[in-house]
Amino acid sequence: MKNVLITGGAGFIGANFVHYLLNAEPDVQIINLDALTYAGNLENLADLRDNPRHIFVVGDICDQELVNSLFHDHRIDTVVHFAAESHVDRSILGPGQFVQTNIVGTFTLLEAARRSWLIEKRLPAETVRFHHVSTDEVFGSLQPGEPAWTEDTPYAPHSPYSASKAASDHLVRSYFYTYGLPVTISNCSNNYGPYQFPEKLIPLMILNALEGKPLPVYGDGKQVRDWLYVEDHCAAIYRILQAGKTGETYNIGGNNQPTNLEIVHTICRILDQLCPDSPHYPHAHLIKFVADRPGHDRRYAMDITKITSELGWQPQEDLNSGLDKTVQWYLTRPEWVRSITEREDYQSWMKSNYANR
């Protein structure tokens, strides 16, 4: 692992992984390709502006000429593919961009890797790896009492977002079976932690509570998700790059499944402890139930036996410790928060989605 192409490295999980890998591999060179759409934020990488081991490239993963040139110019030996449109609500309103980025973009990267590694044979086959980061949402929804998803669970996506990710997973897997491209795939549960764009549940609840705004909870709030602290996710991906078997898929989860309402109440309790003088104390008074999301999956749960037993990874943060770290991070980063919330596109999105709820 010498020259690593990270796609979407200005986004939430990608930026966390860039920092993680630079710390874990003192000799690695990272080429970070990001289109800087709404969820990409250069403030996530502000501390790396003068780091010679981090090269940032503004560009679209669907640009075949650009992607080919990055493989050629930087002798890319490893790809960690985070770049994706990832918000379910946005996929319901505008599915076209999800098809373009998540499916066509993944195809473009696979073709560049196949050309460089298998056709031109610029690097020995045993030294290269294409890792594709996916989601648990490809599995659909679990009913009460059903066992957690394993790597062998059939796909059953319910939203345009999850369908586009399922398609990209199938593409990646097909390049292994058809061409012998050395790939691995990980399907992760809901991430949270530093740098998360505040349209997602946890940062949205934190920031709304601090401002005394309603905390919108879909339906009855009893939807269940498996929550994964982002640094634990980064450690899992790194372990897959080190020891994962090519052609294999690994589930990554946080080993806990609270309801969405429990998550919101926990955030409120943490804010009550950290901000006892807040004019909005107690913050749970701000909770507001709103109409449920169309096609909202009821329950997710991940079986992480495979990655734990085969690669020795397991999450280090439980929900309480992870949420405590996350809330404190947002409380101590007002400049970062303003860099997002004062943007016109963010304000417009929030107004159109939450103003009438």
**pLDDT tens digits along 278-298:** 999 999 999 999 998 887 888
Count Cβ atoms below 10 Å from residue 142 Cβ, excluding itself: 19
In this prediction, residues 323-337 reach a mean pLDDT of 95
| Alpha-carbon distance values, 64 to 31, 183, 184, 333 (Å) | 16, 19, 22, 37
Q: Does residue 137 have an active-site annotation?
A: yes
Cβ atoms of 296 and 219 within 8 Å: the answer is yes
The catalytic residue among 136, 199, 297, 317 is 136
The predicted-structure confidence for 14-26, as pLDDT tens digits, reads as follows 999 999 999 999 9
Whether 85 is catalytic is no
Sequential DSSP letters for 153-190: SPP---SHHHHHHHHHHHHHHHHHHHH---EEEEEE-E
pLDDT of amino acid 356: 44
pTM to 2 decimal places? 0.93
Q: Can you read off the two tokens belonging to residue 212?
A: 């005394």
Q: Are 190 and 227 in contact, with CB atoms under 8 Å apart?
A: yes
pLDDT in tens, 203-260: 999 999 999 999 999 999 999 999 999 999 999 999 999 999 999 999 999 998 899 9
Residue 180 has which token pair? 């012998």
Any bridge partners for residue 79, and if so which?
A: 5, 130
Give the other-Cβ count within 10 Å of 154's Cβ. 8
pLDDT bin (cut points 50, 70, 90) of residue 36 is very high
Residue 66 CB partners (closer than 8 Å, separation 6+): 33, 57, 59, 60
CB-CB contact of 165 with 84 (8 Å): yes
DSSP type of residue 247: T
The string of pLDDT tens digits covering residues 79-132 is 999 999 977 888 888 999 999 999 999 999 999 999 999 999 999 989 999 999
Q: How many CB atoms lie within 10 A of CB 288?
A: 13
Residues 6+ apart with CB under 8 A from 45: 9, 10, 15, 18, 32, 54, 56
Residue from 60, 161, 229, 250 carrying the catalytic annotation? 161
> Hey, what are 352's tokens?
């159109």
Inter-residue contact 168 to 134 (CB < 8 Å): yes
Domain 3-192+227-254+296-317 has CATH 3.40.50.720: yes
- Mean pLDDT for the stretch of residues 59-72: 98
288: region left, alpha or beta (phi > 0 left; psi from -120 to 50 alpha): beta
Instruction: Give the helix/strand (H/E) hosting 7.
Output: strand 3-7
Domain ranges of the chain: 3-192+227-254+296-317
d(CA 86, CA 14): 13
The pLDDT value recorded for residue 294 is: 82
Query: Annotated catalytic, 136?
Result: yes
pLDDT of residue 354: 56
Helices and strands: H and E segment counts in the chain: 13, 11
pLDDT value of residue 198:
83
Residue 135 scores a pLDDT above 90: yes
Q: Of 34, 85, 137, 199, which is the active-site residue?
A: 137
